[in-house]
Structure 1
Amino acid sequence: MSLSTDRKIILITGASSGIGEATARLLAARGHHVALGARRTERLKALVEDIQETGGSAEYHGLDVTEAEDVRAFADAAHSRHGRIDVMINNAGVMPLSKLEALKVEEWNRMIDVNVRGLLHGIAAVLPLMQAQRHGQFVNVASIGAHAVSPTAAVYCATKYAAWAISEGLRQEVGGDIRVTTISPGVTESELADSISDPVGREEMRTYRQVAIPASAVAEAIAYAVGQPSEVDVSEIIVRPTASAG
């Protein structure tokens, strides 16, 4: 029996703003239950209240994806409450861009911790549960930066290529029971650029982001992948502004 028309239990990391928030709202509006994780719990609380006021089903948990135990507790709480996890959306990410010569080593490490280790922690927390129930789907949010490198973005692109590679390896390993989708957004309206401390990177991103798509467009791509029949695996979607040259 296809699970595509069923109410799914969906976990979303980085759900307090941007793509994560838009995805939570859309999937809840389509009848799924969303369990939302992020560090900014006050935002999550307000988001869950909004979803519930419009008839949706949602819960939230404080979550730092760089801490493996945090992610495991997030997954275990949802699994204990609902008896299954149907979809894990690994969305949390940071993007403090700078040229390598700026030597922003702490920011490099932060990107590696969130964008790569955070993704791996999500897989480690949920994969055994999905293998035991013999169904499930990972949706891993990478970036157009997984496919093209630009100045100031070398480390960010490296982390997003890693996300793409990890997703592809996972897809090949899990067999027919578990689906794996990579979503690679182009320039998207979000708070990601707010973390850029380097003035050169900040100015280049300001120019780059003059053409952007709303986070809701990426949410629609995620919902499309989630909504396919269980025997259909949408391996990757690249979604970017029509006017984007790269």
Structure 2
Amino acid sequence: MNKLQGKTAIVTGASAGIGAAIAKELASKGANIVLAARRMDKLNEVKNEITEITNRKVKVIAVQADVSVKNDVNQLVEQAQTELGNVDILVNNAGQMLSATIQSGQVEEWEKMIDVNIKGVLYSVHAVLPSMLSRSSGHIINIASVSGLEVTKTSTVYSATKHAVRVISQGLEKELARTGVRITNISPGMVDTSLSSDNNWNGRKKLDPTDIAKAVVYAVTQPSYVNVNEITVRPV
């Protein structure tokens, strides 16, 4: 029997790339899925793919939501609970990678990254945490980046936001120790998505979105007494 059978997972940024791959992988293991993103047309495409892949054996709903808007996130979680029951897994995958140098002066782009990459994570955690704590059960996955570990001359602001995601994950792990709620931070290296068009990067093959999805499944299928705090996935 699949370990995730009957569990409900919310995946933000699920309309394409890493988020879509995570949703499909979780569904293949038996989880019911709540797809969240801003583009409803793309969400419905992923929803249909999951329905076909799983032969309608799992429930899938698509919810239009902007994670940088607190009310959207609250409504997302409320709809998930109403239609599918308790939220067992939250995957904070939605992210923005825009112009990140300080010299560029692209203040609006910095604000978008801060709002989505940091506030979006906090809003989502805030929305699911009370129910998870009351049940002494739940798993929050935060998708950060290797850019949160290493900063380059072109990634200053983006790296700052992804470092913040790691710090939030580390702090939550300590806050929630012995509550039954687990936290995992996953830092992918360069992944072959719409954000990167070239199949080769510095002479290396980029990661496939499913590589990150498998890391998520690994973390959430561990025994209840095991908390996988940190996973870094890089190209060879």
Q: TM-score, normalised by structure 1?
A: 0.88
Deviations for 1:137-174, whole angstroms, at most 9, x for unmatched residues?
10000000111101110000000000000011111111
Question: In structure 1, what residue type is equivalent to 2:40?
Answer: T
Counterpart pick for 2:209 among 198, 206, 215: 215
Decide whether aligned partners of structure 1 residues 184 and 37 sit closer, same or farther in structure 2, where only a CA change above 3 A counts: same
Offset of 1:207 from its aligned partner?
5.7
Q: Distance in 2 between matches of 1:117 and 1:152?
A: 22
Trace 1:204-243 onto structure 2 (pairs within 5 A): 211-242=205-236
Deviations for 1:107-162, whole angstroms, at most 9, x for unmatched residues?
11110000000000111111111111220010000000111101110000000000
- Give SS of 1:231's match: coil
Q: Distance in 1 between matches of 2:160 and 2:100?
A: 13
Question: In structure 1, what residue type is equivalent to 2:194?
Answer: E
- Give SS of 2:103's match: helix
Aligned length: 230
Q: Distance in 1 between matches of 2:30 and 2:203?
A: 33
Offset of 1:50 from its aligned partner?
1.4
**Which of the two has greater helix per residue?**
1
Using the aligned pairs only, state the percent identity: 38
Decide whether aligned partners of structure 1 residues 64 and 165 sit closer, same or farther in structure 2, where only a CA change above 3 A counts: same
Task: Name the Cα RMSD after superposition.
Answer: 1.9
Confirm or deny: 8 A CA contact 1:4 1:226 kept in the other structure. no
- Give SS of 2:187's match: strand
Q: Distance in 1 between matches of 2:4 and 2:93?
A: 23
Q: Distance in 2 between matches of 1:228 and 1:151?
A: 38
Offset of 1:82 from its aligned partner?
2.6
Q: TM-score, normalised by structure 2?
A: 0.92
Unaligned runs of 5+ in 2: none
Question: In structure 1, what residue type is equivalent to 2:184?
Answer: T
Confirm or deny: 8 A CA contact 2:8 2:85 kept in the other structure. no
Q: Distance in 2 between matches of 1:62 and 1:18?
A: 17
Q: Within the alignment, does 1:180 sit opposite 2:183 as a pair?
A: yes
Confirm or deny: 8 A CA contact 1:112 1:159 kept in the other structure. yes
Q: Distance in 2 between matches of 1:93 and 1:11?
A: 15
**4+ residue runs of structure 1 moved beyond 6 angstroms?**
none
Counterpart pick for 1:118 among 120, 126, 133: 120
Trace 1:28-107 onto structure 2 (pairs within 5 A): 28-54=27-53, 55=55, 56-107=58-109
Confirm or deny: 8 A CA contact 2:100 2:110 kept in the other structure. no
Offset of 1:9 from its aligned partner?
0.4
Offset of 1:227 from its aligned partner?
1.0
Q: Distance in 1 between matches of 2:102 and 2:115?
A: 18
Higher relative contact order (CA 8 A, sep 6+): 1
Unaligned runs of 5+ in 1: 195-202
